[in-house]
Chain A
Amino acid sequence: MARMVTTQRKVISTAAAWLVGFLIFFPILWMVLASFKTELEAFAIPPSFLFFHWTTENYVTVQERSDYLHHALNSILIAGGSTLIAMLIAIPAAWSMAFSPTKRTKDILLWMLSTKMMPPVGVLVPIYLIYRDFGLLDTRTGLIFILCLGNLPIVIWMLFTYFKEIPKDILEAARMDGATIGRELVYVLTPMAIPGLASTLLLNLILAWNEAFWTLNLSTLEAAPLTTFIASYSSPEGLFWAKLSAASTLAIAPILVLGWFSQRQLVRGLTFGAVK
């Protein structure tokens, strides 16, 4: 089916794409703008878009009131640690399921996914009590552990789909070529799996970074990551929109930058296998 693509049509679709892109990006933009406003201007009606008193006082207050770097470090340790451990467990698991599946492989995969269908709040009380008894409340270890377990099913599923895409023939060809299991891993499998591993790692990092339910409920100060840091600006004394925005901007900045630079990898990862 050949279709004439006129300049006019191109202009319209480009404009529409920009509009949709802007709509999606708008909440983040608005938050960043609000973080540079005074508290009064932040909820003024009608809102001012660009013409207001630009100020950085919110950032100063936020840094004075709570230690951003402490929370950021917690976020990095918790997201990074849980991702790393999840990958270490998931790689061999997905590997064996992709390359030597048994009759029950499908069931196990479904069972793992089904754990993600349960609302986490359903097990909050037992987990909280276990954590209390084991002294894991408000510890990085505890948060790493719970986030790792929470994301494990998704990580295994993603890796499983990647590994399944690697044709078995190629592994057999390597075996015929005289590669031992170790060399097969180093020279053939890993290079072919790297794009999949990278996008899984990235996605898991973002999921862990943004996770709020468990981090809010199981940490207070010591181990609290940036999610708790943001939440602390919504207090009974009232909402401080500008400060909340400043805190949120600070909290999402690292992951936003990471996502920006790895978007090509991420998109490839999320649509992998969809189109052959």
Chain B
Amino acid sequence: MGQITLQGVQKSFGPVHIIKGADLDIADGSFVVFVGPSGCGKTTLLRLIAGLEDVTGGAIMIDGKNVVDVPPAKRGLSMVFQSYALYPHMSVRGNIAFGLKMAGLPKDEINKKVEGAAATLNLTPYLDRKPRELSGGQRQRVAIGRAIVREPKAFLFDEPLSNLDAALRVQMRLEVTRLQKQLATTAIYVTHDQVEAMTMADKIVVLNAGKIEQYGSPLELYERPANLFVAGFIGSPKMNFVTGEEAKQQGAATIGVRPEHLKVERDGQGWQGTVSVAEHLGSDTFLYVDCGPLGMLTARYVGELGLHPGDKVSLTPEPGRIHRFDEGGKSIRA
């Protein structure tokens, strides 16, 4: 079991409020991603759950028990660090076994579990190597092995893939997701990469300046962002925002349209603009269009339209795909 509930969790460092009251319900077995710009407090929130930082206020419940005064080791969680934080003087076997050794398990049981974890992560040939003799991806796997071998109530991941190169990151992303589904253990995963968040999460927590902006499934966040911040943060390329007359006609202070929801035509009745940059990826074309009073808009065209900088285009938002926001940036739901 690994149900985690946060009730009004607060954290301040001196006069600086890092976490300003977080409420969250994480269901057992789910994969939850904390995402947000750097400095938003996502790592701090994770460390509060881990017990590596003490809360200033509020309660953290694990399986219904408040753990704010429980030391990290007794919370039954395990953590994978951004730097891997492997014990450099121990072999891979020693690293994975350390937690079990601390728990006082008998030797043969430790060996069995370590070998099981190593097999799951394809680490068996490396068991007797030291961390410095491993590649980045292998080190990452050892760090994950150390976390899974203890069969924790939940895994905490602190930007675990950010030190890997792009190709390896995609591969490890798949492996981590697959492993989590296979073990059906609750996982909390911190990242600043919204692609990671969208692809891995069952549910995403979007954090900004110490506040939870929205909590929901990836598609919920994509389709129904709660406010301007979430709308701008989730989705790539970013959502276009238009203010002024055009927004007023729709009864909003700001309207937002995603690049993929703008119909691109050479001549049309939509917003008129001039292509300033065109990125041709073959499968898609990303157009940065100068629309005069509306500002610079990004549009995505599936396929190739043969547009070049300087060409005139018309952009028409797909009906029903326009997001409306009020003065305070909150989403207006019809």
Q: Which residues of A contact B (CB under 8 A)?
A: 167, 169-170, 172-180, 183, 187-188, 191-192
Contact = CB atoms under 8 A, between A and B. Distances in A.
Contacts of B98: 174, 177, 179, 187
Contacts, number: 59
Q: Which of B52, B86, B103 has the most CB of A within 10 A?
A: B52
Given A178-B103, A179-B102, A173 B85 contact: yes
B89 A175 contact: no
B89 A192 contact: yes
B286 to A, nearest CB: 38
10 contacts: A167-B85, A169-B83, A170-B85, A170-B86, A173-B79, A176-B77, A177-B98, A178-B103, A180-B73, A183-B102
A172 B102 CA distance: 14
Contacts of A179: 73, 98, 102
A273 to B, nearest CB: 15
Contacts of B88: 170, 192
B240 interface: no
B301 interface: no
B72 interface: yes
Contacts of B87: 170, 173-174, 188, 192
A169 B83 CA distance: 7
A145 to B, nearest CB: 36
Given A187-B98, A191-B89, A192-B89, A178 B81 contact: no
B73 A177 contact: yes
Interface of B: 50, 52, 71-74, 77-79, 81-83, 85-89, 98-99, 102-103, 146, 150
The 4 closest A-B pairs by CB, nearest first: A169-B85, A177-B99, A178-B73, A173-B85
Interface SS, A side: helix
A176 B72 contact: yes
Given A175-B52, A176-B50, A191-B89, A169 B102 contact: no
Contacts of B85: 167, 169-170, 172-173
A177 B78 CA distance: 7
Nearest to A190: B89
Contacts of B79: 172-173, 176
A177 B72 CA distance: 9
A172 B71 CA distance: 12
Contacts of A191: 89
Contacts of B99: 176-178
